[in-house]
Amino acid sequence: MSPIIRLIVALAFFLSGLAIVHAQAINFAEERPFVIGVVPVVGNGAVGGVVVDADGTIQRAEQRDEAALLDARRAALDGLAGDIAKPAKLRKVSLRRLDALLASHAGQNKPLPPEVLYLAGLQRIEYLFAYPEANDLVLAGPAEGWLIDDAGNAVSESSGAPVLQLDDLIAALRTSEKLLAGEMISCSIDPTPAGVQQFARLMRGGRTSPSPRLLRQIEQAMGPQTITLTGVSPDSHFAQVLVAADWQMKRLGMGLVESPVDGLPSYMELLQHHSGAEPSNAMPRWWMAYGEQPVECDKDRLGWRLSPPGIQVCTAAGRLQADGQIAPTTESDPLAKEWADAMTAKYDQLAIVEPVFGQLRGCMDLALVAAILTANDLTTRVDLDLPMFLDDSRVQLASHRVPKTVASQANAVKKRRAWVISVSGGVDMDVAGVVNAPNVQAEVQTARMYSPPSQSKSWWWD
């Protein structure tokens, strides 16, 4: 008698590409406060290839809107030349001088230039230095000139790494009160309890063929997934990066898009070619978090180093019960962990070919900066106020429509004994937890000694 063929089903979630790029700074003479960041400048408000409707549902943008936005963003880079376009192993940015520059532009109602919007081409934050004698805080990291790629992302000219963005820095710094309250920055996309129960009812009795019709029934049964954001303003560009990265991770894991790097098969491929027993009714969850020892400091806690790559893909197992509830299990899913480890190992490559992962790493760097400042009260120690960064009555970030739901999409492979579904995941930034017990390294103090604010009045220097 031939073995019973049951369906292995994997669900993932489509956001159709959330906003991951900046336009030229926009401010409005009739409005206060000063507004910076991404704003809809053409078409129907498409950003990063998608639109979010008034209900918070994600939809794809029309091609003409994407092309018009790309032209507008490339035009905003006209005139980028000189030293700022040159590669630098350690470019420094003064938060005191940058805050003053924002005040000057706001006072003149003058749009910010691209070098300010893209933080002088910083690719990531490697160091944070505090200088009480100069009343300043300095960010430092690798940098170079940048361009707008065909997908509308601001990326470094030679490496292709995404550059950091001013509004993400501001969004991160404005999380300080939530960090003090113990709130974690996170994103999660999850099915509703009703959707899981409807799926469980649909799958009772087993199915013999992963037909397109059955997959559509599964998608309808699960219904829209719910997007939950904590710790950061949900209408910010920072929040959209979190959601977009989560969405792309699921697409890679569930085989809904071909991997752009070698050596990263999907979880579905691993499952299909696995010769051992399949997990029964398994529901693996993946999320991106900080790796081990992401920060180091000097003995005085005035110099801090953020360790690359700093991101680890984690996994946990769950099991769907007969009543439609998801129960956590102590059993591990070796294949889910194998895929998580593979993505962790390939993250550097993914951050180049899929810029949203590079942007996520940049946002995680900036969240660590905010946590370090908060946990060590560094602004008080250097006697520095940052009114433009911290006061939303003076500087307002351009507001995006808040993403709330994502349609389910099913994928399947034939196996002999069971089915599996991925119903949740996300990004967890436990920034408070990782900055409270840093390693003390003398090299950080040495780096701080050689990076004081320059004698010139420029807000950045090499």
Average pLDDT over residues 138-155: 87
Q: For residue range 15-35, what is the model confidence (pLDDT) as tens digits?
A: 323 322 333 333 333 345 688
What pLDDT score was predicted for residue 322?
Answer: 54
Domain-embedded: residue 1? no
Tally the domains of the chain.
1
Residues with Cβ within 8 Å of 72's Cβ and at least 6 positions away in sequence, in order, are 23, 24, 41, 42
Q: Residue 143's pLDDT is what? A: 95
Mean pLDDT within 59-85? 57
Non-local CB neighbours of 258 within 8 Å, separated by 6+ positions:
none
Give the angle subtended at the CA of 400 by the CAs of 396 and 403, to the nearest 5°: 140
pLDDT band at 3 (very low <50, low <70, confident <90, very high): very low
Distance in angstroms (rounded) separating the CA atoms of residues 280 and 332: 12
398 or 119: which leads in pLDDT:
119
pLDDT of res. 420: 57
Residue 235 makes CB contacts below 8 A (sequence gap 6+) with 399, 400, 401, 402
Helix (H) or strand (E) holding 116: helix 114-117
| Whole-angstrom distance, CA of residue 239 vs CA of residue 366 | 13
Which of 44, 43, 39, 49 is closest to 17 using CA atoms? 49
- 448 assigned to some structural domain: yes
pLDDT tens for residues 278-315? 655 556 788 999 887 788 999 999 999 997 757 899 88
Single pTM value for the model: 0.85
Amino acid letter for position 344: T
Q: What is the pLDDT of residue 419?
A: 56
Higher pLDDT, 14 or 353: 353
What number of H helices and E strands is found in the chain?
Answer: 16, 22
Judge whether 234 and 387 are in contact, CB under 8 Å: no
The pLDDT tens digits of the residues spanning 340-368 come to: 999 999 999 999 998 889 999 999 999 99
pLDDT at 137 over 90: yes
pLDDT at residue 82, rounded to an integer: 67
Q: Which long-range contacts link 25-32 to residues 24+ away (Cβ below 8 Å)? A: 25/111, 25/112, 25/113, 25/116, 25/117, 26/111, 26/398, 27/106, 27/109, 27/110, 27/111, 29/109
Q: Among 17, 18, 349, 21, which Cα is nearest to 154's?
A: 21
Structural domain contains residue 351: yes
* pLDDT at residue 164, as a whole number: 95
In a domain, 58, yes or no: yes
Residue scoring higher pLDDT (414 or 293) = 293
pLDDT value, residue 70: 56
The identity of residue 50, as a single letter, is V
- Of residues 26 and 237, more confidently modeled: 237
Q: Is residue 204 part of a domain?
A: yes
Question: What pLDDT does 89 receive?
Answer: 93
Question: Does 461 reside within a domain?
Answer: no
Whether residue 33 is preceded by a cis peptide bond, meaning omega within 30 degrees of 0, is yes
Query: Given a cut of 50, is residue 106 above it in pLDDT?
Result: yes
Chain Cα centroid distance, residue 113: 24
Within a domain: 460: no
Cβ atoms of residues 101 and 116 within 8 Å: yes
pLDDT tens across 238-254, in order?
988 898 888 888 889 88
**CA angle 311–460–294, rounded 5-degree value:** 20
- For the chain, what is the mean pLDDT? 78
Q: What is the dihedral of CA 439, 90, 362, 169, to 10 degrees?
A: 100
β-strand 405-415 against 6-14: which pairing, if any?
antiparallel
pLDDT above 90 covers a percentage of the chain that reads 35
Query: Looking at residue 102, what is its pLDDT?
Result: 95
> Does any domain span residue 412?
yes
Band the pLDDT of 339: cuts 50, 70, 90. very high
Place of tokens 């000057």: 104
In terms of residue numbers, what domain contains 30? 6-455
331 vs 316: CA distance, rounded Å: 9
CA angle, residues 113, 397, 92, in degrees to nearest 5: 50
Higher pLDDT, 150 or 81: 150
H-type helices in 204-317, by residue range?
212-222, 237-253, 267-272
DSSP per-residue letters across 129-152: EEEGGGTEEEEEEEE--EEE-TTS
Q: Give the model's confidence band at 45: pLDDT under 50 very low, under 70 low, under 90 confident, else very high.
A: very low
Greatest alpha-carbon span in the chain: 83
Residue 67 has pLDDT above 70, yes or no: no
